[in-house]
Structure 1
Amino acid sequence: MIPLPTLQAVRTTPEGLLWEPSERWVRGRKGDVTVVDSRHPVLVWEPDVPVPLYVFPRAEVREDLLRPAKNPPTGTHTGSQIFYDLDVDGELLENAAWTFPATDLADHIAFEWFRRVGRGLDHWYEEEEEIFIHPRDPHKRVDAIPSSRHVQVSVDGTVVADTHRPVLLFETGLPTRYYVPREDVRLDLFEPTDHRTGCPYKGTAEYWSWRGEADVPSNLVWSYPDPLPAAGPIKGLIAFYNEAVDITVDGERVERPVTHFTKTLSVQSRT
């Protein structure tokens, strides 16, 4: 179960979903067509999924664009859902929307986000700000704080970063990430890749992989060249997966954490 603060507003369904109403004005578009325009969205957390999603009252959804799914998937979301295909200007998006079986969420519809799963609505807005990948969690903080700690990073025994001017990024539910100025990183030991990821708190990241022969995961190193304003201090700095490298802070070795990234990194190291 996702660790959330005990708040009266957060409710639980028998299916294990957590949910709470949101006061944000949320809109979802496919191209130029507004499919969702909601002033009464509900945030939902599925079991064992670290990020939330929105569901919307049917009255605030363009149901005229929804069709019963021709090829509904199984096991993609909690419970026995009803899936819908989305028909926008003659383009059919399969399984773009669904409903949860929970009584608490009856008459609400959820949508996939294109930039998260590769299908669904491609533009989302909270008020007038466009958001990406998934809704931002109201119970989560992301703080990027400049520091003077002495941070060293090693890969397979080789020191690849050494700095006294890191930016420490504290993100709820994740280990502290140590962002290091490029001048203090041996980037010559890594090679850039085509891999990119998006984060609704930080922006779009670019990646590097280790050039050596060590058994380490690919895309081990990343940077945000143009972060979102809230994460501005990490602009252009370099970070490493604590889960797969050795980090020493002020002479004290940082224990490698186990996170939801650990399994993915382990699979990458075997491919």
Structure 2
Amino acid sequence: MTTHPAARSVRTTPEGLMWEPSERWVRGRKGDVTVVDSRHPVLVWEPHLPVPQYAFPRADVRTDLLHPAAHPPTGTHTGSQIFYDLHASGEPVVNAAWTFPADDLAGHIAFEWFRRWDSGLDHWYEEEEEIFVHPRDPHKRVDAMASSRHVQVGIGGTLVADTVRPVLLFETSLPTRYYIPRDDVRLDLFEPTDHRTACPYKGRARYWTWRGEGDVPRNVLWSYPDPLPAVAVVQELFAFYNEAVDITVDGRGEERPVTPFTASLTS
């Protein structure tokens, strides 16, 4: 009996990689050039990264645009790899692609994506939807749900938000984020910044910084002006980093969590 690909479990390699096949149609472009066009990508998790990345069958990659890297890096990915510079559109992209050493992934090529905001390929698509930052993890959920909980947010003893109509965003491995209507946030106590981020699950966010005194990280408040359809309910609502403010839900104070974002939250 043939097992459907979607039913396969995540596999591991002696090098410490985890991987599984994906049925999504994935394309990557540099300028006007399609560099990757694959209906048989593989999702790969490296031990030191919290998110997956794609590797593609060599036949689905424009290998004629790849040349052995002039200055390959060391220690950036699991195992010993062969790196390639990409010559597609404009200036060459150094170390844009590489191969994993695992036998299971022989014949596959991966491209820099995660944490490479200004390098690598310009655009990635799953089916007809553009994907930002990194591939979506099929083992992770992001659910935004309207609620009537009483949520209050304080900074240094000042009440900066108070609502009974939040939207709660539940994201696997992260604390609940409380999205609050504009009218229920003391936005006059914050000023907008030029900081921007992108999320493959939610879209592009803009940020605000606390105007007052105290040891408060910059960009502690954010909003999604045009979120992705799956979380459209958070549009133009505001959320705070639980890691840096005091949040009370239904009269009970919540502990500040320690998350992957904690280290980056500096005042």
TM range (shorter): over 0.9
Query: Aligned letter for 2:243?
Result: E
Helix, strand or coil at the partner of 2:143: strand
Q: Does 1:156 align with 2:156?
A: yes
Q: Does 1:245 align with 2:245?
A: yes
**CA distances 1:169-215 after superposition (whole Å, capped 9, x unpaired):** 00111100000001100111111110000001100000011111201
Query: Aligned letter for 1:220?
Result: V
Distance 1:90 1:212, change over 3 A: closer
Q: In 2, distance between residues paired with 1:255 and 1:88?
A: 49
Percent identity of paired positions between Structure 1 and Structure 2? 78
Q: In 1, distance between residues paired with 2:89 and 2:224?
A: 35
Q: In 2, distance between residues paired with 1:171 and 1:80?
A: 33
Q: Is the 8 A contact 1:115 1:132 kept in 2?
A: no
**Equivalence map 1:11-160=2 (5 Å):** 11-89=11-89, 91-113=91-113, 116-160=116-160
Distance 1:218 1:77, change over 3 A: same
**Which residue does 1:261 correspond to in 2?**
261
Query: Aligned letter for 2:182?
Result: R
Q: In 1, distance between residues paired with 2:104 and 2:114?
A: 26
**Which residue does 1:3 correspond to in 2?**
none
Query: More deviation in 243-252 or 115-124?
Result: 115-124
Helix, strand or coil at the partner of 1:206: strand
Unpaired stretches in structure 2, ≥5 consecutive residues: 1-6
Query: Aligned letter for 1:111?
Result: F
In the TM superposition, residue 74 of structure 1 has moved relative to its aligned partner by: 2.0
In the TM superposition, residue 49 of structure 1 has moved relative to its aligned partner by: 1.5
Query: Aligned letter for 2:193?
Result: T
Q: In 2, distance between residues paired with 1:116 and 1:150?
A: 39
In the TM superposition, residue 91 of structure 1 has moved relative to its aligned partner by: 2.7
Distance 1:89 1:228, change over 3 A: closer
Please give the TM-score of this superposition, normalised by the length of structure 2.
0.94
In the TM superposition, residue 75 of structure 1 has moved relative to its aligned partner by: 2.1
Q: In 2, distance between residues paired with 1:153 and 1:82?
A: 50
Q: Is the 8 A contact 2:8 2:20 kept in 1?
A: no
**CA distances 1:15-53 after superposition (whole Å, capped 9, x unpaired):** 211100001111111111111111110001111322111
Unpaired stretches in structure 1, ≥5 consecutive residues: 1-6
Q: Is the 8 A contact 1:115 1:122 kept in 2?
A: no
Q: In 2, distance between residues paired with 1:45 and 1:129?
A: 22
**Which residue does 2:171 correspond to in 1?**
171
Please give the TM-score of this superposition, normalised by the length of structure 1.
0.93
Query: More deviation in 108-117 or 123-132?
Result: 108-117
**Matched residue count:** 261
**CA distances 1:246-268 after superposition (whole Å, capped 9, x unpaired):** 10000011111111001111xx2
Q: Does 1:203 align with 2:220?
A: no
Q: In 2, distance between residues paired with 1:9 and 1:227?
A: 31
In the TM superposition, residue 216 of structure 1 has moved relative to its aligned partner by: 1.3
Q: Is the 8 A contact 1:68 1:83 kept in 2?
A: yes
Q: Does 1:227 align with 2:227?
A: yes
**Runs of 4+ in structure 1 over 4 Å off:** none
Q: In 2, distance between residues paired with 1:8 and 1:39?
A: 17
Helix, strand or coil at the partner of 1:169: strand
RMSD: 1.4
In the TM superposition, residue 8 of structure 1 has moved relative to its aligned partner by: 4.8
**CA distances 1:214-271 after superposition (whole Å, capped 9, x unpaired):** 0111111100000000010100000000011110000011111111001111xx22xx
Q: In 1, distance between residues paired with 2:89 and 2:259?
A: 42
